[in-house]
Structure 1
Amino acid sequence: MPYHHRKFLALTLPLALPFALTACGGASDASPAERSSRTADAKATGGSGAAGAVPGAKDSATPGGPAPTRSAGRSTPTADRPLAGRTVVVDPGHNPGNFRHSTEINKKVDIGTKRKECDTTGTSTNAGYTEAAFTLDVSHRLRALLEKQGAKVALVHDADRPYGPCVDERARIGNDAKADAVVSVHADGSAAGNRGFHVILPARVKDGAADTSAIMAPSRTLGEKLVTHFSRATGNKPANYIGSGTGLDVRDDLGGLNLSTVPKVFLECGNMRDGKDAALLTDASWRQKAAQGIADGIGAYLKG
């Protein structure tokens, strides 16, 4: 969502959507996600079954996976559990219920450099598949893959709260977990013809409660690993409209990055407003590849 507060202003959602986008800030979802967010996915978890379909999606099954573990101490990595002892926080962009709580998500919170909306509803494909449905689905798949490698994984939210959390709380959750890595999963809402993925890195910020000086370098390394492995797993190229072909973008206006004290990046997996990208984002098999690419990138970063 490189256009957090710009991309949604230009969006015109289909009448089929049960909401109109409010102030923007990243990927989001609507009520269809609530019907699909808890469904198991056979590829990711070994389960089966599918919940109600999400408009515009070819397959809306979302693997649930076990609850985040909370074991004390650090486990010892083994060949089949190379991420044992490591903590990863996955931040699914937006919340399926945000569109019902415009007053709450439009309240501004301090992000260090300025005050910004608590959260946003996010974008959607032209057919109505919402960003929040996408981010929650990929996050479930990612959690299952990381836990299989022994990592302790926590989701910032699991559609288990009415809205949010706000961007400042999203950062705080990763900080309190003392996460080794945090990835915020999103999809962009740029113009048609703009294709590809990109990773957003924290800029140097030292203002008020924000100080990114300690996380800039490790966050960049994490971002670079994600670019390599996401492209390899999905076959997709870095964005043709931002990052000059590097797949990397640096920003100082995102509270989730500004307020983080642990390595954190945002990943825009594709552009929901482009027909070709949308065809991928709504394909369950591609979403599994996306989750695999993210897991591989995080693993490569944590293994050094």
Structure 2
Amino acid sequence: MSYVGPEPDDFDDFYRDDDPRRGSGGRRFRGRPVLVTFAALVPTALAAWLLWSVVNSPGEGEPPKTLPAPGQSQSSGSAAGTPTDPDAKAPSPSPSKSSASPSAKPTSKAPSKPAGGGTGPLAGKVVVIDPGHNPGNFRHTADINRTVNVGNASKECDTTGTSTNAGYTEAQFTLDVSRRLRTLLQQQGATVKLTQNGDRAWGPCVTERAAIGNQAKADAAISVHADGSAVGNRGFHVILPASVHAGGADTRPIVSSSRDLGERIAGKFLQATGEPPSNYIGGGTGLDTRSDLGGLNLSTVPKVFIECGNMRDSQDMARLTSGAWRQKAAQGLSEGIVSFLRG
């Protein structure tokens, strides 16, 4: 915009008559030309101000613009809330997909736990452990005394088992050893199932005990017991299934594999516990073959019983009632089963 106003030689007209800075010509202030000039400036200035407002006012939806603080450039702050205090730290920007390092790899998820028993030398193997009797059997005599068919004979559903002279029962012993054995086998990767875990009022019957192993398609099954013979009779023995083919029983397919399982268990049990083979059954071999046990007759998977010692003999009783010895017993049984399953 060009300047419109008094010419340089008319500056004297702006001073009062008595102002010494007035020119010598005695001219007075020429008010009308100045008023006309000022009036001409107003519309032009107003139009310029309106144009600036339109160009610089915020658009629709845009946040109001703020002027920077004195001494601060406009680029140092932002409408997003970046701190203007020079000592304040601005928040680190979140990395975008485009700014991510090409070498960065996404965090992988932890591998899921494998099904069954997990990893180990017995992974994929199934073992059924049958803790002999049940602590509650003595309260359910009518239930356990009923007869069941074991293929070649009829027998009681279950029995109470024996005990030490001090009252430590076989059912307590078998459940403790079985739980310890389960832990050891699971540590080797096996899938382990107990026929009862103290969670039943009585039983199960011998027929059901066999069925549990069959239905699980167990690679090996063992029934844990302790004997109740005369004083002086001591030692362990492993009971193997005889060849039975009668009624619903047919052990012929499992006789050979069960013997292999029993022999391995006998050897490892002796090494782990120091318990000698029975001096009253098995002729010193620690092995006995029977055809009257429903848990063996009705099994379709390799299965044996073990009588870990005589609860009525003082020497055996001292071992059977020791937690440390029961752990050794579980270790010997585990090693025998592992040996069998690994061939």
Supply the distance in 2 between the matched residues of 1:71 and 1:269 (Cα, whole angstroms). 33
CA positional deviation for 1:283: 0.3
> 1:179: which partner in 2?
218
Letter of the structure 2 residue corresponding to residue 299 of structure 1: V
Structure of higher RCO (CA pairs closer than 8 Å, 6+ residues apart): 1
- Aligned in 2, Cα 1:70/1:264: closer, same or farther, shift over 3 Å? farther
Give 1:223's match in structure 2, choosing from 262, 266, 290.
Answer: 262
Give 1:92's match in structure 2, choosing from 103, 127, 131.
Answer: 131
Letter of the structure 1 residue corresponding to residue 243 of structure 2: R
CA positional deviation for 1:128: 0.6
Q: Which stretches of structure 1, 4 residues or longer, exceed 6 Å deviation after superposition? A: none
CA positional deviation for 1:188: 0.2
- Aligned in 2, Cα 1:192/1:137: closer, same or farther, shift over 3 Å? same
CA positional deviation for 1:108: 0.2
Give 1:158's match in structure 2, choosing from 166, 175, 197.
Answer: 197
- CA deviations 1:227-282 (Å, max 9, x no partner) are 10000000111100000011000000000000000000000000001011000000
Supply the distance in 1 between the matched residues of 2:325 and 2:309 (Cα, whole angstroms). 11
> 1:279: which partner in 2?
318
Supply the distance in 2 between the matched residues of 1:235 and 1:197 (Cα, whole angstroms). 10
Give 1:133's match in structure 2, choosing from 148, 160, 172.
Answer: 172
> 2:185: which partner in 1?
146
Q: Is 1:259 equivalent to 2:298 in the alignment? A: yes
Structure 1: gaps (5+ residues): 1-68
CA positional deviation for 1:89: 0.2
Please tell me whether the aligned partners of residues 204 and 216 of structure 1 are also in contact (alpha carbons under 8 angstroms).
yes
Letter of the structure 2 residue corresponding to residue 261 of structure 1: T
Q: Is 1:196 equivalent to 2:235 in the alignment? A: yes
Please tell me whether the aligned partners of residues 98 and 121 of structure 1 are also in contact (alpha carbons under 8 angstroms).
yes
Please tell me whether the aligned partners of residues 70 and 152 of structure 1 are also in contact (alpha carbons under 8 angstroms).
no
Q: Is 1:113 equivalent to 2:152 in the alignment? A: yes
Structure 2: gaps (5+ residues): 1-112
- CA deviations 1:117-176 (Å, max 9, x no partner) are 000000000111000000000000000000000000000000111100000000000000
Higher helix residue share? 2
Letter of the structure 1 residue corresponding to residue 202 of structure 2: Y
Letter of the structure 1 residue corresponding to residue 182 of structure 2: R
> 1:295: which partner in 2?
334
Q: Does the residue aligned with 2:138 lie in a helix, a strand or coil?
A: helix
What is the root-mean-square deviation in Å for CA atoms of aligned residues? 1.4
Give the TM-score normalised by structure 1: 0.74
Supply the distance in 2 between the matched residues of 1:252 and 1:203 (Cα, whole angstroms). 5
CA positional deviation for 1:71: 3.2
Identity of aligned residues (%): 66
- Aligned in 2, Cα 1:129/1:174: closer, same or farther, shift over 3 Å? same
Letter of the structure 2 residue corresponding to residue 152 of structure 1: T
Supply the distance in 2 between the matched residues of 1:254 and 1:71 (Cα, whole angstroms). 34
> 1:170: which partner in 2?
209
Supply the distance in 1 between the matched residues of 2:253 and 2:326 (Cα, whole angstroms). 32
Letter of the structure 2 residue corresponding to residue 275 of structure 1: S
Give the TM-score normalised by structure 2: 0.66
Letter of the structure 2 residue corresponding to residue 91 of structure 1: D
Supply the distance in 2 between the matched residues of 1:233 and 1:89 (Cα, whole angstroms). 21
Supply the distance in 2 between the matched residues of 1:233 and 1:82 (Cα, whole angstroms). 20
Supply the distance in 2 between the matched residues of 1:70 and 1:263 (Cα, whole angstroms). 26
Q: Does the residue aligned with 1:84 lie in a helix, a strand or coil?
A: coil
Letter of the structure 1 residue corresponding to residue 230 of structure 2: A
Letter of the structure 2 residue corresponding to residue 71 of structure 1: A
Q: Does the residue aligned with 2:155 lie in a helix, a strand or coil?
A: strand
Supply the distance in 2 between the matched residues of 1:244 and 1:258 (Cα, whole angstroms). 23
Supply the distance in 2 between the matched residues of 1:268 and 1:285 (Cα, whole angstroms). 18
CA positional deviation for 1:70: 10
Please tell me whether the aligned partners of residues 99 and 121 of structure 1 are also in contact (alpha carbons under 8 angstroms).
yes
Give 1:206's match in structure 2, choosing from 242, 245, 268.
Answer: 245
Letter of the structure 2 residue corresponding to residue 237 of structure 1: P
Give the count of matched residue pairs. 231
